[in-house]
Amino acid sequence: MNTDEIRESRIIKIANKVISLKNAKTLASILWDIYQSGISESPYSSVSFSIKCSDNSSFESSKLSIFDENSIINSKKVEYIKMGFYDPKEYKNIYIGITHGNVDWQNEIEVKGKDSLWVNGVIARIKDVLDSVPPQNMFIKKYKLIINSLLALGIGIFIDYILSFFITPSKDPPSKLSIMLEDLYSRSPFFKYFFKYFFAMVVGYVIGLWPITELYSQLRNLWPSIEIQIGPEHTYIEKRRRKILISILVIGAGPLLVSVVYDIIKAFY
């Protein structure tokens, strides 16, 4: 088989990145430089840049200036970026797709061509740019079990607090099990608080399974795999909500944390 008939294709997945206008322009510059350097030999080659925004407006251009600071796209919330280069003479093709959110299959880069050195060289240049892009904070995904357990604990403690208003202490003599537990607690207060929070967590998981799943999903959406931060600061919805969440945690979770720490100190001293 003639090696000219063989075309190589390389794909890079883009994930866990915060894309700024500067990052997008740097990626676009790679396509623009390739286009400019080969246009004399391949006059039918083309380069294109497409942008879609949250207000359903879209913009297309064959000029790098679409990513300038004073470009109209920098006045809107950008949700999708598409870049392309095509050289029909040399069968060279570059595709870059970047979508805001957790849609992994819509965030990738593909480079095709007959020249393996060219394909791998372009891939290397793109990888260098991606390595310089700020990473997305991954703690929500990394510590999923811990976060879900804390959510369950919070729900369980809340349920216990609500029930305390409706359940009155029994006037019957304590059972043997109650006596044994009280004796155990008096000897080792640690077990008292361990069982208290352990059962609160179990109750939270059993009763609050759906709320926990929904809450975790909402938390995960605050740190999307791809976060495009192009446009006015007030359009960065996830960034704004993260600030609100931190404020809520400081105000709401603070007393709970103090209570847990206090119980731990009591268990050992």
Q: What is the pLDDT of residues 121-178, one digit of tens each?
A: 999 999 999 999 999 998 888 888 777 777 777 777 666 666 666 655 556 666 555 5
pLDDT > 90? residue 29? yes
Tell me which CATH code domain 3-132 carries. 3.30.310
pLDDT at 189: 60
What average pLDDT does the chain have?
Answer: 82
CB atoms closer than 10 angstroms to residue 27? 24
Bin 95: left if φ > 0, else alpha if -120 < ψ < 50, else beta.
beta
Give the whole-angstrom CA distance, residue 102 versus residue 82: 17
pLDDT at 190: 56
Type of residue numbered 72: I
Q: Which two tokens stand for residue 162?
A: 């609500």
Q: What is the pLDDT of residues 166-221, one digit of tens each?
A: 655 556 666 555 555 565 556 666 555 556 666 666 666 666 666 777 788 888 88
The DSSP bridge partners found for residue 13 are 108
User: Which part of the chain is CATH 3.30.310?
Assistant: 3-132
This prediction has a pTM of: 0.74
